[in-house]
Each structure stands twice: as structure tokens, then as C-alpha cells.
Amino acid sequence: MTMPCPECDAAVPLDERTVVGEVVPCPDCGADLEVTALQPPVLVLAPPEEEDWGE
Amino acid sequence: MTAAVTLALDPLTLLDELLRIPSVTGDTDAAATRLLHRAREAGYHAQRDGAGNLVMIWGDGPIEDEIVLLGHLDTVPGHIEVREQDGRLHGRGAVDAKGPLAAALAAVSRLPRPIGRRITVIAACDEEGPSLGARYLRDRKPPSHLIVLEPSGWDTVTTGYRGCVRLTATVTRQSAHHAGPHAGAADRLVAGLAELQRSLPTGGERAVDRVQVRVNTLRSNDNGTVEHAVAGIELRMPMGVAVEDIAARVAALMKEARVQVESACDAVAVSRGNAVARALARGVAASGGRPRYTSKTGTSDLNVVLPRWGCDAAVYGPGDCSLDHTPHESIDIDELRRGADVLETALRSLSSGASREFGPGAPAQRGAGS
């Protein structure tokens, strides 16, 4: 299965084991895309990661 | 081929045992020896390497298709009585990082053998020091996948660290009467440090994007002939700020000081979409969570090995990292067990090769070698 990249419209591959919250890279533009739903699949530009201190 | 039968390690039992053997950086032999025996009993092929790291191998796949889980056995000083209380296990190293190490060893020991992959758990030495163990390891053959074992919470994957430069700045002056008109060595050093604190902290709004200056030590003496003043300085740098550049800026800002770099590593970041991060995300989801991602203001052995290995990588481990290096260090026992479950699922996913269907997932950005 593929879904269009919300940034460049390229086909982003997903498989049956993809989970909500997983981040997938667009193979074309390289954007980090977060899977926010699965039925049907929804891809959004992933928000910045959180920050934490320590190791 | 006949499958080997062994008893899987229990993460709580193993962690409790490890916590009872102090292993402050530089004094890890007793803990490493005990862990070596436990690992062999569980079915690992275990041995110490030339740096004192404990290398524990599961499976017999080709080394070019190896998954490495890199933890550390050494801790910072500070005795904490080992005890179970209110669902938490207390002890020095409970989160940083014997807890993540115990979770990983337990997770791997649940995997069947042969599994068709070589999975290697490494308990490195000296991570809380200058990372001598990881510096030794970075010259080995790179694995295909790397999980660095540091605490970030059972549902969180760490994908980046700032870099770090530790340096000393020394001002030397001829001794003079303290009532005289000229500033002494300590005065000049303090003025230079103030300039450093004023000028260097730059960057974005988030701490992980900023340069941070911390003065760790200060000392001075005057033997009647010469005055010395010495500061130990620690700089944390975001991606895009090179060690050489920041050291040069320090030297330029502290013109009266002799500046010497003691140790350094560049910042490092990986894509949240690389195969290891995605396998961990699937592990979190399988344990009932929604994966979170974080970058950290500190450093880890990822900063040391990834620039050389260049493989798919992420950092994971159960435990609250705000308890690192504190007298309150403890880990939630349910979280410890859940962390082992997440790692098991991730390793099964990586071992099945399913994650490779997504493509290479190379690290997004990397610092240069330290």
C-alpha cells in the first residue's frame, strides 16, 4: 500500500505492520511523516521531537 | 538443526543482582564477571574484549547482518540502598543504565535460536567517563542495526543528542601584590568565563538547539612567584556546531587563557523513520502505547560510535532519565518489564527483515567523528 506524501505527493509505502505514531520517511522529499490513523491511513508532517535532558 | 533450549532471563531478577554489585566507572570488574556468568547460563556466548567491555552474542548469523544493543555497566558514584518499594526498584544504576541493559538481556534471551541473525548485547565500560569502551568498539566491524540502551521511558525513542566538548582554560601570571593595580590570574580567568557565558549560548529556542556553557571546576594558586588559575569547562553543542569551531571560539573569547581540549564529540541525530526507530515504535504500539520521540541535551555512546558505524540506529530504554545521577535513582518495575517487551518485539521485527521493506532509512544527519 502507498499513501501520498502531504508535502510532495510522492507515493509513500506502508505495510500491514505499520502502527499509529510510527514515523515514515518520504522516499522522494525525505520529509518525516507521522502515521496518525490507519483505517484509512493518514500521513501528516511529523511534529518536532520532544526534548529531554540527560543521556 | 536443533533449537537450543535455555531459560529466559527475568529483567527484575537480573537488575536486582546487578544493582547489588557497585560498578562505578573504572571499577566494573566484579559486576562484569557476575554478568558474564549470568549471560552464559542464559545461553549467550559472552566474553570481555580488550577494553573491558562485556560482549554477549546471541545467534550465529553473519556479522554483516548483526544487531548490536549497546549499553553500559558503569555508573556514577553515590551509594543508594538496593530495595523494592512501592513498585519501584531503587539502586545506583537502576535507570542509568543497568535497567535498560537488564531489559535488553532479558528480551534477547526470549528469542529462539537459531534466529538467523547475530544479536550482540554489549555492556560497555567507562560510558560515564570518556567513553573508552565505546571508543574501542567503534573500530570494530559496523553492525547493520544499533540500539543504544539509555533510559527515556518505555514508550519513547531517542533520536538525537547534543555534542560535548570538555576543556581546560589556564591563566598564568607573574605574582604581584594583591593591593596593586593589576588583575590577578583568577580575576582574568573569571572575566574570560563571564565573556564566554555572555557570548556563546546561541541557537534556537529549544535547549537541544542551543550552545550551553557550564563551568565545572575552578581552582587557583599563588606560590609567590607565579599565579595559576584553571577552569574546567563543558560546552554542549547542537547539530551544525563543530567541535573545532567551538574550541576556536573559546580560545578567541578567552585571549588570556591557554585553552586545551580534553575530550570532545559532535552532536548526532538519526531519522525517526529509520528501520530501528520504526521497529521500536512497533514495539511500543504492541505493548499498548503510542510512540514518542525525543532529543536529549546530554550525550551518550551513540555520539561516539554512530559517526563511524553509519548504520540504522536509535536509543531506547525504560526508566525516567530525570533520575539519572541523582540520589533518588529508581525504576518502575512494570516499566522495566514493559521495556523488555518493547525490545523483544522490536528485535523480532528487525530479525524478520520486515522493516527492510521500507528501504534504507539512513540517518538524517550526523556529526563528524569525534
Shortest CA distance to B154 belongs to which of B222, B118, B122, B107? B107
Return the percentage of chain B with pLDDT > 90, whole number.
85
**CA B130 distance to own-chain centroid:** 11
Kindly tell me if the per-residue pLDDT of B212 is higher than 50: yes
Is A54–B299 a contact, with Cβ atoms under 8 angstroms apart?
no
CB-CB: which of B277, B285, B354 is closest to A23? B277
Give ∠ CA B280-B283-B284 in degrees, rounded to 5: 90
What are the tens digits of pLDDT across the range B45-95? Answer: 999 999 999 999 998 888 889 999 999 999 999 999 999 999 999 999 999
Kindly tell me if the per-residue pLDDT of B238 is higher than 90: yes
Give the pLDDT score at A54.
75
Half-sphere exposure of B225 (CA within 13 A, CB side): 0
Is A19–B291 a contact, with Cβ atoms under 8 angstroms apart?
yes
Which residue intervals of chain B bear CATH 3.30.70.360?
Answer: 163-265
User: B332 catalytic, yes or no?
Assistant: no
- Give whole-number Cα distances, A32 to A21, A47, B89, B363, B366, in Å: 12, 9, 37, 12, 16
Is B297–A46 a contact, with Cβ atoms under 8 angstroms apart?
no
Give the pLDDT score at B166.
94
CATH of domain B11-161+268-357: 3.40.630.10
Domain extents in chain A: 2-45
Kindly tell me if the per-residue pLDDT of B364 is higher than 60: no
CB-CB: which of B286, B293, B299 is closest to A49? B293
Which residue intervals of chain B bear CATH 3.40.630.10?
Answer: 11-161+268-357
B292 contacts chain A (CB < 8 A): yes
Is B324–A27 a contact, with Cβ atoms under 8 angstroms apart?
no
What are the tens digits of pLDDT across the range B255-271? Answer: 999 999 999 999 999 99
CATH of domain A2-45: 2.20.28.160
Mutate to test the interface with B, among A1, A20, A45, A52 (most CBs of B within 10 A): A52
**C-beta of residue B366 within 8 angstroms of C-beta of residue B305:** no
Report the alpha-carbon distance of residue B75 to residue B128 in Å, rounded. 6
CATH of domain B163-265: 3.30.70.360
User: B155 catalytic, yes or no?
Assistant: no
Report the alpha-carbon distance of residue B171 to residue B229 in Å, rounded. 5
Q: Exposure string (b/e) for B212-247, b if CB count within 10 Å is 16 or more?
A: bbeeeeeebebeeeebbbbbebbbbbbbebbbeebb
Instruction: Tell me the whole-structure pTM to 2 decimals.
Output: 0.90
Tell me the average pLDDT across A26-44. Answer: 95
